[in-house]
Structure 1
Amino acid sequence: MEIAQIHALFLACKSVSTDTRKITHNSMFFALKGDNFNGNTYAKQALESGASYAIVDEAEFNISDKTILVADVLETLQTLASFHRSYLKLPIIALTGSNGKTTTKELINAVLRQKYNTSATIGNLNNHIGVPLTLLSMNEATEIGIVEMGANHKKEIEFLCHIAKPDFGYITNFGKAHLEGFGSIEGVIEAKSEMYNFLIAHDNTIFVNANDSIQTEKTKDAKRFTFGNSKSKSDVGIDFLNAQPFVSCKIETIEVTSQLIGDYNFNNIAAAIAIGNYFKVENTAIKTAIEQYTPTNNRSQIIKKGSNNIILDAYNANPTSMRAALLNFEKQIGQKTAILGDMFELGTSAKAEHQNIADLALNSKIDRVILVGENFYNVEINAEHITKYKTYSDLEKSFDISEIENQTLLIKGSRGMALERILN
């Protein structure tokens, strides 16, 4: 069956599904495969649960006129998403970067939603499956689409751009993330810049933080819209005011106070303000959107537990974001305890990068530091106020978290550490 025919059937459906546990009525089920599962075996169940069609790629599961046999289910999902994106002809904003992608995407969505009917990546569904699902969630009522793109190897951003065909793009930063796949910070810059390459090749617009010398240099010959402080020559001037306790800034005469902590969040907020400005959202509406946005999903959340204030930033971690979090945390007033979990996907750099963070914690104005995970356990450090645990289980068995009272806590680590368990 041709992709145009599949698209016609898709338009008659209400949604797309890849999980029979979450089947909705009149959806189109894609029988994806993984290392430990074969979605083809669930096609019949998907139809019985309410799906209108099931896309399969193994002939034995092509059991009725409701199953559609294709050469490869994943490729069909990606091709359908790209076809649908072209069919809708709506402007797409893509963003990537080492840190702050999801927070920036949520802020951009909050700002643009003040004027437009937007559709954005849910959570961090930003890979070769998530991007197609995001595009397929858009419809004729969508006025602007916002697509987050993640990668841990070169050529992934390039591939995702060819699916989403963005009209606009923004890279939050270049940091030490996924070094195992990228090899080095130079590899990170090369891989993330694949978005620039696509946008420049198609004469599309790039949003650029003028305070980032690497990004300004890489986009000097591109069609771009820049933001920086009010004294710069940027298209939009945004002044950083302070980050205590929450990040605040100023655009023209309007002051904006967010619910985000850490001066590293200023660039995320500034990008959303600049993009809102580009799309003619009024400054007063931008202020409302930024001030009402509340972080969720273990990202810079402020949580009150008993007598303690907790900064929960346990969704992910890499050397760049960990360093920024520690430098911000030591500015907090009162007694401070940092609980830090291992950073993953660092490859041969893991030992050195964990040692660097441990040394930074040692020399910071933080009263107590608890390191959790095999990498942190092996760092060379000896100080009374620093404790190491090889596993989370060791921490749970040996440390009474309830003894911490009247303090501010930072909880940060990679997703695999699941440090949010400490809250319980």
Structure 2
Amino acid sequence: MKSQGFFYLRPMTLTALHKLFLEHPKICTDTRKIEKGCLFFALKGPNFNGNAFASNAIEKGAVHAVIDEKEFHVEGKTILVENALETLQKLSIYHRNYSNAKVISLTGSNGKTTTKELIHAVLSKKYKTIATKGNLNNHIGVPLTLLSIQPDTEMAIVEMGANHQGEIAFLSGISQPDYGYITNFGKAHLEGFGGVEGVIKGKSELYNYLLANDRYVFMNADDPIQRQKLASYTKKIGFSTHDPQYYIIRPIMTNPFLEVAFDDLQVKTQLIGEYNFTNCAIAITMGKYFNVPVEDIKKAIEAYRPQNNRSEVIEKNGHRIILDAYNANPTSMMAALNSFKAIEGENKVLFLGDMFELGDAAHEEHQKISEAIGNLGFETAYLIGDNFGKTENGYPKFESFDEIRDYLTKHPLPPSTILIKGSRGMALERLLEIL
């Protein structure tokens, strides 16, 4: 029987599927993480087929499994659809519109997850708020975030990531945000976007959705790209260090932790680097716009502590380590270097790993970073990976993590102030075990 474009072994409309979801409001896509009473969606990937695990999911406690290959049918327990992923996405749209929660979507080249966590911390002081878990910000993660909206949820913060044109437009169509924010436009995923102009075009797809649907835009009014693109748009809320048309928020110092000022308040964060200023500023802006008491805004930001290898400060064996190894691109790498240069510390040491997804710009961008190290006056730097290995500079280079591990085992560092930064694939947090 056909219903709303899907074939089922038993009749079920999208409305009926949503009703079933409300009765069992837990979604699982991984049989290793099955929760009793959940709905299992059999998704597919290059190296796996979730349909083959449907019966296992049911055995582990899933109340139903949504499959798209009928040979894996389990009588009375499976719902057969044309495409399990598309069904998950359409169910999330249905639930988003069923809910009364306001949706805030955000994207950008750098700082998305930290910004999302700060906004969540601030808005949670007044509202029932949910947010994307970790960085589950793709075509699967965004639907799962929307489906985590509870009956009492008032605010839903949805992080959206992309590395190609069209992805943000697609995710915006799923999340249908009431408000949106772009952290910045940087040199990230240049290979997929086709250069910096491609990044600006791709990330601006969120603006395109908001403007086309007469929704509200949050902005960094000191960012010339944002200011230009939103010049004639009236539904905008922003922050600036100097423009009185917007909320005035200023950085005070970063030595090493960032401090910011607004409304005669001084906020002492646990975040390293001035590059985190805009992340804090937009959280303050949203807090003020949504009438969160300013003292609660201050408390929320001061209590936030970065995790998951994002600008963490670690004291270990006499070292003071800034671990910023979650990801890297040329923009975030330069920001980290400039910030590290500005902070006080004895015997500064850099461990920098390759930046991925730069395509034809990889050699040029790695060479620029290697030259910047010297221009900023850093004497000790260790460069790790194939791309840094091809650069011309006087710093020691290591093709692999095994090489730098062996070197440090034989040449342990004296107590130092250390920055560790590289792309996720480099997994440079492993250096902590050696240091």
1:312 counterpart letter in structure 2: L
**1:246 pairs with one of 257, 266, 283:** 257
Structure 2 unaligned segments of length 5 or more: list them. 1-11
Match of 1:215 in 2: 226
What does 1:12-411 correspond to in 2, within 5 Å?
12-222=23-233, 223-229=235-241, 231-333=242-344, 334-381=346-393, 383=394, 386-400=395-409, 403-411=412-420
SS at 2:420's partner residue? strand
1:81 counterpart letter in structure 2: S
Displacement of 1:89: 2.7
TM-score (norm. length: structure 1): 0.98
The answer as to whether partners of 2:238 and 2:282 remain within 8 angstroms in 1 is no
1:85 counterpart letter in structure 2: R
Is 1:414 aligned to residue 423 of structure 2? Answer: yes
2:356 counterpart letter in structure 1: F
CA distance in 1, matches of 2:417, 2:24: 49
Please list the CA deviations of residues 262-289 of structure 1 after superposition, one character each: whole Å capped at 9, or x if unmatched: 0010010001000111100011000000
CA distance in 1, matches of 2:14, 2:66: 12
Runs of 4+ in 1 over 6 A off after TM superposition: none
User: Does the C-alpha gap of structure 1 residues 401 and 173 become closer, same or farther in structure 2, counting only changes over 3 Å?
Assistant: farther
1:391 counterpart letter in structure 2: S
CA distance in 2, matches of 1:368, 1:132: 45
CA distance in 2, matches of 1:337, 1:218: 40
- Kindly report the root-mean-square deviation, in angstroms, between the aligned alpha carbons of the 2 structures: 1.0
1:353 counterpart letter in structure 2: E
CA distance in 1, matches of 2:104, 2:411: 45
CA distance in 1, matches of 2:247, 2:371: 38
Displacement of 1:402: 6.7
CA distance in 2, matches of 1:257, 1:14: 39
Percent identity between the aligned chains? Answer: 53
Displacement of 1:401: 7.6
Match of 2:16 in 1: 5
Please list the CA deviations of residues 300-345 of structure 1 after superposition, one character each: whole Å capped at 9, or x if unmatched: 0001111000000000000000010011111222210010000000
Q: Which moved more, 1:102-111 or 1:363-372?
A: 363-372
SS at 1:280's partner residue? coil
CA distance in 2, matches of 1:366, 1:298: 23
The answer as to whether partners of 1:210 and 1:234 remain within 8 angstroms in 2 is no
1:408 counterpart letter in structure 2: T
CA distance in 1, matches of 2:277, 2:186: 16
CA distance in 2, matches of 1:216, 1:39: 45
Displacement of 1:400: 2.7
User: Does the C-alpha gap of structure 1 residues 402 and 306 become closer, same or farther in structure 2, counting only changes over 3 Å?
Assistant: farther
The answer as to whether partners of 1:81 and 1:163 remain within 8 angstroms in 2 is yes
Please list the CA deviations of residues 7-40 of structure 1 after superposition, one character each: whole Å capped at 9, or x if unmatched: 1111111410000000001001000001111000
TM-score (norm. length: structure 2): 0.95
The answer as to whether partners of 1:99 and 1:175 remain within 8 angstroms in 2 is yes
CA distance in 2, matches of 1:123, 1:401: 36
2:367 counterpart letter in structure 1: Q
Q: Which moved more, 1:363-372 or 1:412-421?
A: 363-372
Structure 1 unaligned segments of length 5 or more: list them. none
CA distance in 1, matches of 2:193, 2:44: 26
CA distance in 1, matches of 2:251, 2:342: 16
Please list the CA deviations of residues 336-375 of structure 1 after superposition, one character each: whole Å capped at 9, or x if unmatched: 0010000000000001000000111122232310000000
Displacement of 1:95: 0.4
How many residues are aligned here?
420
